[in-house]
Chains A and B, each alone.
Chain A
C-alpha cells in the first residue's frame, strides 16, 4: 500500500479502520435519506415495467453463460479488437495492471491524465501510483472529482460523493480551488467544468473503466451522465480502458437488456444520458484495453460464490441495504461496499482480511430482491459466514466455537433443552439486578428492554393441559 493511500480518508482499507463496521457514523446521517430516496425511485422505475422480473432472469442467464465461457469470450473480444488496431493486454493483479499503465504513459510521454469513473482503478489505487510516478491524475466525474479534491475514497460505487451536501462542496471548492463560495448546484457545476476543461486539454492520456465488453463485435461500452467519459476517452491522444474480466457479455444483441437494467437499477433512469460504444481508436490515436483479473478467477473456483461475478456495479443493493445506509461505504474497508462488497471483498482480498464483512448484515434479503442480475447475495452471505468461521479470519474464534458447541449440546434433547432454558430464564430475570451487563447482554440492553419472563413456559402449559381434564 502506498504512502499516499494511507493519507486518504476512509483508507487504507482492511486495517483497524474497519472497526467502523460496527457502528453507524454520525457523519453519514443524511446517507439513509439519500439511499432511501434512490432506492424508492429505482423501485418505482422498475415497477413501471411489467416484465422487469423477466428482464432480471434473462440478464442472470446471460451473465451465467458469460462467466461460464469467460475464456472463449475474452479471446473473441481480443481478436475483434486487435483486428482494428487496439492493443489488448491482460493483467493478473493490480500491480501488473499499474505497471502496464505506467509503461504506456512513459511510452507516450504523459504528464497528466484525465480519468472517467472506474471502480477497477480504485482496486488498483491507480491515482496514488500515478502521483508517485509524477503523473497528475484528474478525476472528471463530478462526484469523483469532489472526493479526489477532499482526498477521500468514494463512499458509493455509483455516487461517490453522496455524503457531501452542496454547501460542503462549495466550501471544498473554495478551499482547494480558491473559488468564491456557493451552494448553488449550477454555480458548483460551472466551477468544476471550468477546472476540468483545462484538464482535458492538457492531458496526454485518458483512462476509463468499462461497463460492458461485448465479445462478438469487440465493443467497449461506457455509460455516463455528465459527458466527462466522452471527453476523457476522445480528447487525449491515448485512451486506456481498464476492464474487470467479468465485464464481458457475449453479443451486441444482449446490450439493450443490460442498458435497460443498469440505468434503472443504478440511478432510476430509463437510460443513462450518454452511452458510448467504442470499437477502436480514432485514426492517429491509440487505444489500449487492459483486462484485470485481481482475484476474480479465484471467485470462479467457489461454486457458491461465482454468481457474485455477475455484478454490473449498479449499486442498487447498496441503496437498498439498511446496514449500508447507516454505516456508509468506508466501513466496509475496501473498494466495494454494501452487500455486494460483503460477498466480493472476502474473495478478492482474502478471508483473513475481510472475514468480518459477511456478518455486516441482518440477512434481510433486500439486496437479493433488487439485484438486476439476480445475484443471490443473501444466501452467499451465509455461505461466506460458514467459510469465515472455518478459515483463518477475524471471525474464527475458539471462544465462539465453544459457545455454539454448547448450544448444539443443549439442543440435543428435551432434558438438556430444559436445563438450558432454565438458565436463560434465570439470567433474564436476574439481569436487572446486575450492576453492569457483560458482552452480548450489554449489547442487547444498550437500547432495548429484555422481555418479561412469564410464570410458565408453553411446554408446561401443554403438559398440564394434556394431563388435566380435556375441555
Chain B
C-alpha cells in the first residue's frame, strides 16, 4: 500500500498559555483500566464507533470502563466564546474523570479541547491534571500501547481525512496512517490537499454556512478525485459534515464515511 511520505507537522506551541503536555509518564502498564470519553454526537448518532473502540481495546487486553456520569467537554460553548458557560461543563468532566489515569476519546477535536483548551478556561491544578491525561484513540494505541496492527481486514478503497484540531493542536497525523497501513486488503487512496480544513468547524458550520459549504465542496471534490469508496477519519464530527454533503449529491452518495475505529474493528474473525 502506498502511503504519503510523512509530512512535517508543526504543532502550535506558541500559545500565551503554554498548554501542559500530555502525561506520558508513568507509561501504560498492562491491565490498567482505561476510561472512555464518548462525545455526545458519537453516543447519539454513531454508537458503533464506541462499540468498535471497546472491542479493539479489550482484544488488546485493555480493561475498559465507561464512567456513566460523563456528559460533554464543553467545546461548543467554548468555541462560541461562552467560556463562563463552558466552565461548569469542564469542571463536571474533570470531576467524573479525576479517578482515572488513562482517559481516551475517539475524537481529535474533543481531545484537543480537553488537553489544550481546558487550561484557558480554568487553570486550576485539578483541571490541568485531568486534561493532561486525555488521549486521542489512535494516539493511545500507537504511542502508549505500541500497537499498529489490530488484525483488521478491510478490502476497500479508502481515503483519509485528518481533523485540524487533532493534527495541529495535538500533532496526531501519523498515528491513523500507521494503523491503516496494517489493515489487510485496504487500498489507500491519497487525498489531494489533505491538509485543508473540511469546513465543519463546529458552530462555524451553521454560523457561516455558505463558507462552510464552499470549503466542504472542495473537500468533496478532492475525495471524488482520490477514487476512494470510503472516507475514514479519527474525527466523525468532520465526517458528519462531509458525509452529509456526500449524501446530498446523487453522484457521491455511494461514498461511505467511517471512523478509524470501525475500520480497525472490521473483518476480525477470531
Which A residues are closer than 8 A to B by beta carbons?
A: 21-24, 32, 36, 47, 53, 60, 303-304, 307, 322-323, 326-327, 358-366, 368-369, 374-376, 378-379, 382-383, 385-390, 395, 400-401, 404-405, 407-408, 410-414, 416-417, 421, 424-425, 428, 440, 443-444, 446-454, 456-459, 461-463
**Inter-subunit contact A458/B248 (CB<8 Å):** no
Q: Choose among A32, A413, A458 the residue that contacts B43 (Cβ–Cβ < 8 A).
A: A458
Output the least CB separation between B134 and chain A (Å): 17
Q: Choose among A32, A404, A414, A463 the residue that contacts B77 (Cβ–Cβ < 8 A).
A: A404
The CA-CA distance from A69 to B202 in the complex, in Å, is: 39
Output the least CB separation between B88 and chain A (Å): 5
If A53-B10, A322-B196, A411-B72 touch, whether A363 touches B201 (CB-CB below 8 Å) is yes
Instruction: Give the B interface residue count (CB, 8 A).
Output: 77
**Inter-subunit contact A364/B201 (CB<8 Å):** yes
CB contacts (< 8 Å) of B88 on chain A: these are 408, 411-412
CB contacts (< 8 Å) of A368 on chain B: these are 12, 14, 168
The CA-CA distance from A405 to B164 in the complex, in Å, is: 28
**Closest residue of A by beta carbon distance from B41:** A451
Q: Choose among A23, A369, A408 the residue that contacts B12 (Cβ–Cβ < 8 A).
A: A369
The CA-CA distance from A414 to B66 in the complex, in Å, is: 13
**Inter-subunit contact A457/B43 (CB<8 Å):** yes
**Inter-subunit contact B201/A408 (CB<8 Å):** no
**Inter-subunit contact B79/A379 (CB<8 Å):** no
**Inter-subunit contact B47/A454 (CB<8 Å):** yes
**Inter-subunit contact A421/B211 (CB<8 Å):** no
**Closest residue of B by beta carbon distance from A43:** B195
If A322-B199, A368-B12 touch, whether A424 touches B248 (CB-CB below 8 Å) is no
**Inter-subunit contact B12/A379 (CB<8 Å):** yes
**Inter-subunit contact B79/A449 (CB<8 Å):** no
**Inter-subunit contact B209/A400 (CB<8 Å):** no
10 CB-based A-B contacts, threshold 8 Å: A358-B81, A359-B204, A362-B212, A366-B164, A366-B196, A421-B40, A443-B207, A446-B213, A448-B213, A449-B243
Output the least CB separation between A152 and chain B (Å): 22
Output the least CB separation between A446 and chain B (Å): 5
If A414-B69, A461-B47 touch, whether A303 touches B14 (CB-CB below 8 Å) is no
Cβ contacts B182-200/A at 8 Å (1 or 0 each)? 0000000000010111011
Q: Choose among A322, A389, A447, A463 the residue that contacts B248 (Cβ–Cβ < 8 A).
A: A447
**Inter-subunit contact B244/A326 (CB<8 Å):** no
B71 within 8 A of A: yes
The CA-CA distance from A400 to B76 in the complex, in Å, is: 12
**Inter-subunit contact A449/B247 (CB<8 Å):** yes
CB contacts (< 8 Å) of B14 on chain A: these are 60, 307, 368, 374-376
**Inter-subunit contact A23/B210 (CB<8 Å):** yes
**Inter-subunit contact B92/A412 (CB<8 Å):** yes
The CA-CA distance from A456 to B241 in the complex, in Å, is: 21
If A382-B117, A401-B82, A457-B44 touch, whether A417 touches B72 (CB-CB below 8 Å) is yes
Output the least CB separation between A357 and chain B (Å): 12
**Inter-subunit contact B209/A364 (CB<8 Å):** no
The CA-CA distance from A382 to B80 in the complex, in Å, is: 8
**Inter-subunit contact A458/B69 (CB<8 Å):** no
Output the least CB separation between A414 and chain B (Å): 5
B51 within 8 A of A: yes
**Closest residue of A by beta carbon distance from B240:** A451
B142 within 8 A of A: no
Q: Choose among B45, B81, B211 the residue that contacts A386 (Cβ–Cβ < 8 A).
A: B81
B245 within 8 A of A: yes
**Inter-subunit contact B215/A448 (CB<8 Å):** no
Output the least CB separation between A380 and chain B (Å): 8
B214 within 8 A of A: yes
CB contacts (< 8 Å) of A326 on chain B: these are 211, 214-215
**Inter-subunit contact B71/A449 (CB<8 Å):** no
CB contacts (< 8 Å) of B79 on chain A: these are 363, 382, 385
The CA-CA distance from A374 to B15 in the complex, in Å, is: 9
**Inter-subunit contact B215/A362 (CB<8 Å):** yes
**Inter-subunit contact B89/A408 (CB<8 Å):** yes
The CA-CA distance from A363 to B77 in the complex, in Å, is: 14
The CA-CA distance from A368 to B245 in the complex, in Å, is: 28
Output the least CB separation between B113 and chain A (Å): 11
CB contacts (< 8 Å) of B195 on chain A: these are 366
**Inter-subunit contact B244/A458 (CB<8 Å):** no
B205 within 8 A of A: yes
The CA-CA distance from A358 to B203 in the complex, in Å, is: 13
CB contacts (< 8 Å) of B2 on chain A: these are none
For the complex of A and B, 10 pairs with smallest distance between CB atoms: A362-B201, A448-B244, A385-B81, A364-B197, A365-B168, A23-B210, A389-B81, A364-B164, A458-B47, A404-B85
**Which of B121-152 touch A at CB < 8 Å?**
none
CB contacts (< 8 Å) of B210 on chain A: these are 22-24
**Closest residue of A by beta carbon distance from B38:** A458
Q: Which of B49, B51, B74, B211 has the most CB of A within 10 A?
A: B211
**Which of B38-91 touch A at CB < 8 Å?**
38, 40-51, 54, 66, 68-72, 74, 76-83, 85-86, 88-89
The CA-CA distance from A297 to B46 in the complex, in Å, is: 49
B234 within 8 A of A: no
CB contacts (< 8 Å) of B92 on chain A: these are 411-413
CB contacts (< 8 Å) of B29 on chain A: these are none
Q: Choose among A363, A385, A404, A458 the residue that contacts B42 (Cβ–Cβ < 8 A).
A: A458
**Inter-subunit contact B46/A451 (CB<8 Å):** yes
Output the least CB separation between B23 and chain A (Å): 21
**Inter-subunit contact A359/B10 (CB<8 Å):** no
The CA-CA distance from A387 to B80 in the complex, in Å, is: 11
The CA-CA distance from A33 to B212 in the complex, in Å, is: 17
CB contacts (< 8 Å) of B42 on chain A: these are 458
The CA-CA distance from A155 to B239 in the complex, in Å, is: 32
The CA-CA distance from A428 to B44 in the complex, in Å, is: 11
B216 within 8 A of A: yes
Output the least CB separation between B254 and chain A (Å): 14
Cβ contacts B1-43/A at 8 Å (1 or 0 each)? 0000000101010111100000000000000000000101111
**Inter-subunit contact A451/B45 (CB<8 Å):** yes
CB contacts (< 8 Å) of B83 on chain A: these are 386
CB contacts (< 8 Å) of A21 on chain B: these are 208
The CA-CA distance from A221 to B117 in the complex, in Å, is: 39
**Inter-subunit contact A378/B168 (CB<8 Å):** yes
**Closest residue of A by beta carbon distance from B82:** A404
The CA-CA distance from A424 to B80 in the complex, in Å, is: 19
CB contacts (< 8 Å) of B76 on chain A: these are 407
